[in-house]
Amino acid sequence: MRKELKEYIDSLVTKHPVVLFMKGTKERPQCGFSKQVAEVLNNLVHDYLAVDVLANAELREGIKIYSDWPTIPQLYVKGEFLGGCDIALDLYRKNELQERLGLSRAWDVPLVKIADAALSALKDAQKDCAEGEHIRLTISANFAHGLTFDSKNDGDLVIQHEDVEILIDPYSAVRAPGLFIDYVQENLDAGFAFTNPNEPPEVKEVSAEELKSWCDQEKDFLLLDVRPKSEADQARIIFAKSFLDMSQAELDQLKKDQVIVFHCHHGGRSRRMAESFRFKGFTNLYNLTGGIDAWSKKIDRSIPTYGG
């Protein structure tokens, strides 16, 4: 293996708490094994680094040498190689992966409220359970709620409503106190609806004009530019701070209720960055609609526009 490739892999697994070398991306896996591990991580953590080995043939072969493991995907947590698909799934079922990730867990059954219509639907669903199956409630790290049929695992808690039993794993249960489950019917569509008081506030959009008015009003906010230096050198909002130049100590000092606006070129990358901050507990997050391109065209024409 080339020295440069080894140093590159070293930097990935040491700088990022969770790294998955996979085929495809976390949004669009290109093999079943990668998809299974990505789904587990999507459920457990709000963000992790997914490295697509299909995009780099040298990396695809090099990671096998680096880990002395012959297959993809490969999962690293806190710099330690845990294994491939089978090992990751086994650790997940035993709650050992959750422990390695340092996730908080609940020890007591959370209080979950269920509307009469939802309780009736759950009773009907429970009748369809096969032998050994139960209704399971899951709440992912990104607060995606789900109800499925599943077998009972070690550590599961049981939410009891009349004669309905709902399983919930202790890591989902941390996000469940005060959850309200309803059953909504609209025309021919029907389904469960979840209202969760633990879910962080959504990222809001702010237009270039609104942001300019904030400046005129001297509103206290932080504008973070998430673009790489190559783009920032082409065009820059003078009062924006480069996110990539911030140290971990500076990030740790940010207050959870601070008003933070993210921007990139057109607004897509900054929106994703803002969402990652949302699930770290920040409560006043905004994305600059249209990015620096909109700011240049609508507010400050002295800032050049650029392609891409």
Q: What CATH number should be reported for the domain holding residue 211?
A: 3.40.250.10
pLDDT score of 172: 96
For residue 171, tell me if it sits in a domain: yes
Residue 8, exposed/middle/buried by CB under 10 A (0-12, 13-18, 19+)? middle
- Please list the residues that pair with 181 across neighbouring strands: 114, 194
For residue 225, tell me if it sits in a domain: yes
19 and 94 housed in the same domain: yes
142 and 223 housed in the same domain: no
pLDDT score of 189: 87
For residue 32, tell me if it sits in a domain: yes
155 and 218 housed in the same domain: no
pLDDT in tens, the chain (308 residues): 889 999 999 999 998 999 999 999 988 999 999 999 999 999 999 889 999 999 999 999 999 999 999 999 999 999 999 999 999 999 998 889 999 999 999 999 999 999 999 999 999 999 999 999 999 999 999 899 999 999 998 889 999 999 999 999 999 999 999 999 999 988 888 999 999 999 999 999 999 999 999 999 999 999 999 999 999 999 999 999 999 999 889 999 999 999 999 999 999 999 999 998 998 889 999 999 999 999 999 999 999 999 86
Q: How many domains does the chain have?
A: 3
Interval 253-262: pLDDT, tens = 999 999 999 9
Show the CA angle centred on residue 225, arms to residues 280 and 268, nearest 5°: 75
Non-local (6+) Cβ contacts of 126 within 8 A are 135, 163, 164, 165
Interval 211-222: pLDDT, tens = 999 999 999 999
